Amino acid sequence: MTLTRTILAVAAVGVAAMLACHGAGAAESESPPQLKWSFAGPFGLYDEAQLQRGFKVYREVCQNCHGLSLLAFYNLADPGGPGYSAAQATAIAGEYQVTDGPNDQGEMFQRPGRAADHFPPPFPNEQAARVRYNAVPPDFSVIAKARTYERGFPWFVIDMVSQYQEHGVDYIAAYVNGYEDAPSGFNLPDGSYYNKYFPGHSTAMPKPLVDGQVDYTDGTPAKGEQYAKDVSAFLMWVAEPHLEARKRIGFQVMIFLIVFAGLLYFTKKKVWAEVGGHA
């Protein structure tokens, strides 16, 4: 009795302290809405059509500033991805100019990309990248895993069980469409734009996506919101290309382990029966 009461008392104090401290926390940005993603959950899969649309948005809009340097053209044909054929991936590679060399004259030169090449960077170096917006546009290769938002208690505990791993894409999709007029009294530096979800609200990139900017050939509505979702899904695939295999093998491993645990449990009971059971 005393023990239980003690534990409850301490726990109550602890929770109260946590809530109190949480309330006194620094100004936070708003939490992005949780969207539905086809790849979420234990049986999640990428939607090939969505990845291809997202890739289209990336090429037509984002690619001018944001690199994809860890992705190779041959990855576009990998299983669990956008579903291009090897020939299509090679063709896409050929549309890019890649730096190679030095040649026999000692000079670097440009040549069409091959399947083995990675996506070439949009700028030759960080200084050139910084010029236009006075900030370096981040590379997109792992950005879906490099962005997150505070979930707070008890969500961060529940997330472990619910398998919520889409912090990055929820944030990116919200950010890209989160441009608003700055509220009165907000000090927005020159060259910055007000964004509801960006930490600190002041971001260097102007609103990148507007309705009708990119043509969709499969009938999906050509809206800014849709572009955000599609490009975020594409970026999730770029960051986690083996997601489908991981979840599939995970299911097999879990079944195996649970069956194995069951067998071991009954074996243990049988073994211990010989010395009077228990323990």
> By CB under 8 A, how many residues form the interface with other proteins?
69
Among 27, 108, 131, 271, binds other proteins (CB under 8 A): 271
Nearest distance, CB of residue 194 and other proteins, angstroms: 19
Among 103, 110, 134, 267, binds other proteins (CB under 8 A): 267
Among 51, 57, 61, 72, binds other proteins (CB under 8 A): 72
Q: Are 52 and 83 in contact (CB under 8 A)?
A: yes
Binding segment (CB under 8 A) for other proteins, from list 13-21, 53-61, 186-194, 219-227: 13-21
Nearer to other proteins, 44 or 48 (CB): 44
Residue 228 interacts with other proteins (CB under 8 A)?
Answer: no
Among 18, 158, 188, 210, binds other proteins (CB under 8 A): 18
Element (H, E) at 144: helix 143-146
What separation, in Å, do the N-terminal and C-terminal C-alpha atoms of the chain show? Answer: 26
Among candidate residues 189, 184, 214, the one with its CA nearest the CA of residue 200: 189
Among 147, 226, 233, 236, binds other proteins (CB under 8 A): 147
Amino acid at 276: G
Among 116, 128, 135, 188, binds other proteins (CB under 8 A): 116
Give the integer Cα–Cα distance in Å for 137 and 139.
Answer: 7
Place of tokens 């910084």: 130
Residue 105 interacts with other proteins (CB under 8 A)?
Answer: no
The pair of three-digit structure tokens given for residue 249, joined into one six-digit string: 């093998």
Residue 26 interacts with other proteins (CB under 8 A)?
Answer: yes
Among 64, 110, 134, 148, binds other proteins (CB under 8 A): 148
Give the integer Cα–Cα distance in Å for 213 and 264.
Answer: 59
Among 59, 111, 114, 196, binds other proteins (CB under 8 A): 114
Residue 146 interacts with other proteins (CB under 8 A)?
Answer: yes
Distances in whole angstroms, Cα of residue 113 to Cα of each of 7, 90, 214, 237, 241:
65, 8, 24, 22, 21
Q: How many CB atoms lie within 10 A of CB 124?
A: 10
Binding segment (CB under 8 A) for other proteins, from list 56-64, 96-104, 112-120, 186-194: 112-120
Give the integer Cα–Cα distance in Å for 181 and 10.
Answer: 46
Nearest distance, CB of residue 247 and other proteins, angstroms: 7
Give the integer Cα–Cα distance in Å for 170 and 155.
Answer: 15
The pair of three-digit structure tokens given for residue 188, joined into one six-digit string: 């927005």
Nearer to other proteins, 18 or 210 (CB): 18
Nearer to other proteins, 157 or 188 (CB): 157
Element (H, E) at 50: helix 48-60
* DSSP 8-state secondary structure symbol assigned to residue 179: B
Cα angle 245-249-255, degrees, rounded to a multiple of 5: 155
Q: Which residues bind other proteins (CB under 8 A)?
A: 2-3, 6-7, 10-11, 14, 17-18, 20-21, 24, 26, 42, 70, 72, 74-75, 78, 114-116, 138, 141-143, 145-148, 159-160, 163-165, 167-168, 199, 239, 241-242, 245-247, 249-251, 253-254, 256-261, 263-268, 270-272, 274-276, 278-279
